[in-house]
Structure 1
Amino acid sequence: MLNIRLSVLALTLFSLAATLLSGCSSTPTDPTEAWTTEKLYKEARDESVSGAWDRASSLFEKLEGRAAGTPLAQQAQIEKAYAQYRSNEKVQALATLDRFLKLHPASPAVDYALYLKGLVNFNEDLGLFSFVTKQDLSERDQKAAKDSYESFRELVSRFPESKYASDARQRMTYIVNSLAAYEVHVARYYLSRGAHVAAINRAQVAITDYPGVPANKEALQILVKSYEALGMKELKADSQRVLEKNYPETTITPSKKPSAWWKFW
């Protein structure tokens, strides 16, 4: 009887061991494990060139770990951020760039990191149906636009001679125009609803915070209409004078949306 029990126990242990060994043997292996850092970088770059951004991002991440403490690791980190950006992984790309800027403040690639950070926010996803609605930057939440502007502003301030500075300045112009247009867009909405005090407040923000931009014309027009509706004759007259002085051939019509950023150059 004892021998039978021992046999059963032995058989059970053997089955368990076989199961464990089977599990171990099925564990996937990393095909890049034996690659040199040079080969890993080459493969990652090849994936980038072919547009396989997810694969490139994964390889750059491996390279960043294996080449830690070397210039190649920095290169891998910044290229990973670009691959994440192209993969529409905005949050991950920004996190990678913030980490790069924190860890490598003296890197010669800091200007590019700032430019790419601005670009990630500048090209925020418009949404699945944006091509139908023709929605532009002036009609969306402005946090990303403001973050983008700050990154570009830091770039041109710290590195005015950078090869990315010219493009950053042009994008900043578009962003400022769009931020003002956003305020006017909201003011126009309030005006159409008869919320004249709210319309005045948003129009004044556009004029005060973004002087000299195209949207200021409609902002002044909204002030004239809103003050008239509220019976504030003096304020209406003041706004009318400013409007006529800055825009002599004025008609009370909505201003155009800002042109696409690429039309600035």
Structure 2
Amino acid sequence: MVKSKQHHSRIAAIRNDSSLKIAFISGLLLLSSCSSDNNKKLEAPKNADAETLYNYGIDALHSGHYKLAAGEFELLQQNYPYSGFTGNAELMEGYAYYLQGEYALSVQQLERYLQLHPTSPDAAYAFYLRALCYYEQIADVQRDQQGTVEAMDALEEVITRFPQTAYARDAQLKIDLCRDHLAGKEMLVGRYYQQQRNYEASLTRYQRVIQDFQTTNHVPEALERIVEVDMDLGLKDDARQTAAVLGYNYPDSQWYRYAYNKLRDHHLLSDNLKQPKNTSSKPRGFFSRVWHSIF
């Protein structure tokens, strides 16, 4: 369970990162000529023109009144559908919903914006913000992970459409986190099946982590759990082989020490199992090549 707690703390740290509370394109924010007036009312006057509505919406965003900001941008779109401020207001309304945590409304608004302005210079940002809406809704590993899959799909779309942008680079980092999250879910379920002595089901989960999530931090534990299952099933040679893969790729991992000690205690050590090291080093070789050569 230590692995799971570490995973949860990593999720919390990244989701609280300031990059998620992204500031919008500075050019749009600077359109406001009224935002320096701190004494005016936040709500725009009746019959305000498009620029005034937009500026009031920006001021509401700056002051943290996101619901009011969304209302100002919506009113602008209704009253001035052909204004030069309308496109920006559509996008900013989606941003205001995002800051409120109204992710479904934000996605709906952003998709509407992208339908109306598919070639906009701000389309990359709109796709990225849409992906963040899904990303913010990633559930704990104990719950259904459909939201994680949707977040990955949306983030992948950002990379596919805008590969050379900063949005794509950040999306890749978040995809890595999503993959780690999905691997954590597989490990949680695998441990449950193992505790219930449903070894076939647990092996399926652990093997999926190894084959589909090789770049995550859950792989060493998955290998060690397979050693445990093999030993419980009396598959001594399989246990040794899996421990050899673990020791080759992660010689300094605590999970290799666990596997090595268990095999030693049952007098199952073989010549290709080296005693765990005490110093830190990176995994050697190509893990997938070693894994597939044995299994």
Short-chain TM bin: 0.7 to 0.9
* 1:146 equivalent among 132, 149, 167: 149
Q: Closer, same or farther in 2 for the Cα pair 1:176/1:100, shift >3 Å?
A: same
Query: Is contact 2:51-2:85 (8 Å) kept?
Result: no
Query: Is contact 2:231-2:239 (8 Å) kept?
Result: yes
TM-score, normalized by length of structure 2? 0.66
Aligned twin of 1:118: 131
Aligned twin of 2:282: none
Aligned twin of 1:188: 191
Paired amino acid for 1:251:
R
Cα distance in structure 2, aligned partners of 1:248 and 1:180? 21
Paired amino acid for 1:101:
L
Q: Closer, same or farther in 2 for the Cα pair 1:51/1:196, shift >3 Å?
A: same
Q: Closer, same or farther in 2 for the Cα pair 1:162/1:70, shift >3 Å?
A: farther
1:227 aligns with 2:230: yes
DSSP-derived class of the 1:191 partner: helix
1:65, distance to aligned residue in structure 2 (A): 2.3
1:85, distance to aligned residue in structure 2 (A): 1.3
Q: Closer, same or farther in 2 for the Cα pair 1:125/1:101, shift >3 Å?
A: same
1:83 aligns with 2:96: yes
Aligned twin of 1:54: 67
Identity of aligned residues (%): 29
Q: How does 1:72-221 map to 2 (within 5 A)?
A: 72-124=85-137, 137-221=140-224
Q: Deviations over 1:102-144 (max 9, x none)?
A: 3322111111112111211222276xxxxxxxxxx54443222
Cα distance in structure 1, aligned partners of 2:167 and 2:47? 38
1:39, distance to aligned residue in structure 2 (A): 0.4
Q: Deviations over 1:126-174 (max 9, x none)?
A: 6xxxxxxxxxx54443222222222222212221232323322222222
Cα distance in structure 2, aligned partners of 1:218 and 1:117? 34
* 1:36 equivalent among 31, 39, 49: 49
1:64 aligns with 2:58: no
1:71, distance to aligned residue in structure 2 (A): 4.9
1:38, distance to aligned residue in structure 2 (A): 0.3
DSSP-derived class of the 2:165 partner: coil
Unaligned runs of 5+ in 1: 1-29, 127-136, 254-265
Cα distance in structure 1, aligned partners of 2:225 and 2:150? 28
Q: Closer, same or farther in 2 for the Cα pair 1:248/1:31, shift >3 Å?
A: closer
1:33, distance to aligned residue in structure 2 (A): 4.4
Aligned twin of 2:239: 236
1:69, distance to aligned residue in structure 2 (A): 4.3
Query: Is contact 1:186-1:202 (8 Å) kept?
Result: yes
Cα distance in structure 1, aligned partners of 2:113 and 2:80? 15
**Paired residue total:** 214
Structure with the higher fraction of residues in helix conformation:
1
Paired amino acid for 2:258:
I
Query: Is contact 1:47-1:56 (8 Å) kept?
Result: yes
DSSP-derived class of the 1:251 partner: helix
Q: Closer, same or farther in 2 for the Cα pair 1:71/1:252, shift >3 Å?
A: farther
Query: Is contact 1:117-1:148 (8 Å) kept?
Result: no
Cα distance in structure 2, aligned partners of 1:65 and 1:117? 23
Q: Which moved more, 1:40-49 or 1:172-181?
A: 172-181
Cα distance in structure 1, aligned partners of 2:225 and 2:46? 65
The structure with more radius of gyration: 1
Q: Deviations over 1:206-258 (max 9, x none)?
A: 112112321111111111212222333444333222222211231238xxxxx
Cα distance in structure 2, aligned partners of 1:180 and 1:251? 22
1:77, distance to aligned residue in structure 2 (A): 1.5
Cα distance in structure 1, aligned partners of 2:45 and 2:200? 64
Q: Closer, same or farther in 2 for the Cα pair 1:221/1:62, shift >3 Å?
A: same
Cα distance in structure 1, aligned partners of 2:227 and 2:83? 62
Cα distance in structure 2, aligned partners of 1:67 and 1:161? 35
Give the aligned CA root-mean-square deviation in angstroms: 2.3
